[in-house]
């Protein structure tokens, strides 16, 4: 298993754990009537769908999909690392910026979210570009 | 990877890119509001990522890696799964069109249901144990 895949999968596990912790907080919200927890919901969803499921797929695709060529079996390793960095930095910025923007909107938190949006989009695009030509008939 | 899986997975990559694009527009709107109407795209964002990306990717990879048959068509009735592919993508696009015509959402969902049922029927018998021959090689 390539090093990058290990990073993707282990980070996906961490996101799974964090997502479930966010789920516990959401459960407490409805039980204890904590309205300020509403900001946690989008983070909960994105930790599970983006940080866990999509990131796990990214790692396994990088590892197991048909080889691009003999010289570059996984096409661009550098682009793969960019995907990893952008995905997780974007998710982290979102996890910080979204509750702040929801509870105390301000310009800095707002631009943190814009930066996070751009990073997550870039992660999706770099992954799609790097994987596209590896999706091929044998 | 069989041709049908290539279609499934490449389509899923397109929906991944499209879904992330819409997600970025929505998140940016939360940060620095620029156009409140962008929220009408929210159901399309969900549809593209949950059905277009995750579900379609799983269906494509499943068609590729599930155990094959030793006799006859190795992956069973491939035409059925092509049908599932076409219905799934028609369903996604119809469901996404709800932003213009609301009643297209249930129509699209019905296409998705028909697609998934067709896929399940076409794949059911491929979910089977691996049988090893005397030399340790897989026998179908």
In order, the DSSP letters of chain B are --HHHHHHHHHHHHHHHHHHHHHHHHHHHHHS-S-GGGGGGHHHHHHIIIIIIIIHHHHHHHHHHSPPPSSSSTTS-HHHHHHHHHHHHHHHHHHHGGGT-TTHHHHHHHHHHHHHHHHHHHHGGG----EE-TTS-EE-
Residue B130, pLDDT > 80, answer: no
Residue B25, pLDDT > 70, answer: yes
CB contact under 8 Å between B1 and A135, yes or no, is yes
Question: Using CB atoms, which residue from B2, B10, B31 is nearest to A114?
Answer: B31
Confirm whether the ipTM is greater than 0.90. Answer: yes
> Cα(B123)–Cα(B34) distance, rounded to whole angstroms?
47
- Work out the minimum CA distance from B17 to partner chain A, whole angstroms: 6
Across B133-137, average pLDDT: 71
What percent of chain A is predicted at pLDDT more than 70? 96
Across B16-37, average pLDDT: 97
Contact B131, B70 (CB under 8 A): no
CB contact under 8 Å between A132 and B2, yes or no, is no
Residue B132, pLDDT > 90, answer: no
What percent of chain B is predicted at pLDDT more than 70? 97
Q: What is the pTM of this model?
A: 0.93
- Work out the minimum CA distance from B57 to partner chain A, whole angstroms: 9
Question: Using CB atoms, which residue from B10, B13, B31 is nearest to A101?
Answer: B31
What percent of chain B is predicted at pLDDT more than 90? 88
DSSP A35: G
Local mean pLDDT, 10-residue blocks, chain A (138 residues): 97 98 88 74 95 97 94 94 98 94 93 98 98 93
Residue with tokens 């068609």: B63
Mutual angle of helices A77-103 and B3-31, in 10-degree steps: 40
pLDDT confidence of residue B137: 65
At B67-118, the pLDDT tens digits run 999 888 999 999 999 999 999 999 999 999 999 999 999 999 999 999 999 9
Question: Using CB atoms, which residue from B17, B28, B31 is nearest to A128?
Answer: B17
pLDDT confidence of residue A50: 96
Residue B46, pLDDT > 80, answer: yes
């Amino acid at each position: 298993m390539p090093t990058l895949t290990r990073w993707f999968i282990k980070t996906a596990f961490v996101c799974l754990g964090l997502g479930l912790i966010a789920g516990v907080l959401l459960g407490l919200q409805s039980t204890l009537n904590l309205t300020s927890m509403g900001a946690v919901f989008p983070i909960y969803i994105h930790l599970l769908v983006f940080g866990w499921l999509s990131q796990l797929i990214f790692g396994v695709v990088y590892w197991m999909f048909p080889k691009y060529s003999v010289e570059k079996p996984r096409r661009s390793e550098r682009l793969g690392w960019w995907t990893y960095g952008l995905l997780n930095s974007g998710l982290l910025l979102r996890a910080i910026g979204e509750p702040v923007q929801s509870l105390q909107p301000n310009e800095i938190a707002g631009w943190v979210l814009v930066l996070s949006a751009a990073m997550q989009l870039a992660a999706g695009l770099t992954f799609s570009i790097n994987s596209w030509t590896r999706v091929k008939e044998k | 990877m069989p041709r049908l899986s290539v279609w499934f997975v490449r389509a899923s990559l397109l929906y991944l890119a499209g879904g992330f694009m819409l997600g970025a527009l929505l998140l940016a709107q939360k940060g620095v509001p620029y156009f409140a109407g962008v929220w009408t795209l929210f159901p399309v964002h969900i549809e593209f990522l949950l059905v277009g990306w995750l579900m379609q990717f799983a269906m494509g990879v499943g068609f590729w890696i599930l155990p094959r048959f030793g006799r006859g068509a190795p992956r069973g009735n491939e035409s059925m799964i092509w049908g599932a592919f076409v219905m799934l993508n028609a369903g996604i696009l119809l469901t996404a069109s709800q932003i213009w015509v609301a009643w297209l959402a249930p129509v699209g969902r019905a296409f998705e249901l028909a697609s998934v049922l067709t896929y399940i029927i076409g794949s059911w018998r491929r979910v089977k144990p691996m049988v090893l021959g005397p030399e340790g090689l897989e026998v179908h």
